[in-house]
Amino acid sequence: MKITTKQLVFTALLIALSFIGAQLKIFGTIAFDSLPAYLGTFLMGPIFGAIIGIIGHLLTAATSGFPMTLPVHCVIALGMGLTMVGTWYTYLFVKKIANETLGLLISVIAATIFNGPILLLLCSPLLVPILTWAGVIALMLPLALVGGLNALIAAVIYKALPDSIKNQF
């Protein structure tokens, strides 16, 4: 895979936007840092989206003081990267059998479920000693809602972009 200067610059721009989104915190480290990662995923594919998602989460956690410890946030960041990969392949699969709009909608739903309850449950062995089960369960709804909102806004932006921009990457 050849990486172009345009891809590097756009990735850096989306990482910078992730940092800005990281300042818009809803609850703890739940913020609008993943919106640029979802947009990058839709525009440039799973690798760039995963890189933006990983760095975006680490920026959010860093600006919050790594409240759940650095190792836990590194695992969560990897989960964000996997979320972007899953979002991309869900989008491609549904787009191929149906259409772009349905592909975006189903990928937003899949991202919401994976970024919220599934990622929390996968990280629960690390989170329960810090937050208890009640704390982990209490995080599910706000994390799913904000994560879904991040993905939905990114999908709406992507859908609104002209094909000339979508086809540049």
pTM recorded for the entire structure: 0.93
| pLDDT for the residue numbered 25 | 79
Q: What single string gives the DSSP state of each residue in 70-87?
A: HHHHHHHHHHHHHHHHHH
Q: How far apart are CA 95 and CA 113, in angstroms?
A: 19
Encoded amino acid at 9, one letter: V
- pLDDT tens profile 82-115: 999 999 999 999 999 999 999 999 999 999 999 9
119 CB contacts (<8 Å, ≥6 apart)? 76, 79, 80, 83, 143
Number of domains in the chain: 1
- pLDDT tens profile 37-75: 999 999 999 999 999 999 999 988 898 889 889 999 999
Average pLDDT, the chain: 93
Q: Structural domain of residue 105, as residue ranges?
A: 5-166
Q: How confident is the model at residue 27 (pLDDT cuts 50, 70, 90)?
A: confident
What angle is formed at CA 57 by the lines to CA 116 and CA 47, rounded to 5 degrees? 90
What angle is formed at CA 12 by the lines to CA 26 and CA 92, rounded to 5 degrees? 80
| pLDDT for the residue numbered 48 | 98
The more confidently predicted of residues 23 and 11 is 11
Q: How far apart are CA 90 and CA 164, in angstroms?
A: 23
Task: Give the CATH number of the domain where residue 37 resides.
Answer: 1.10.1760.20
| pLDDT for the residue numbered 92 | 97
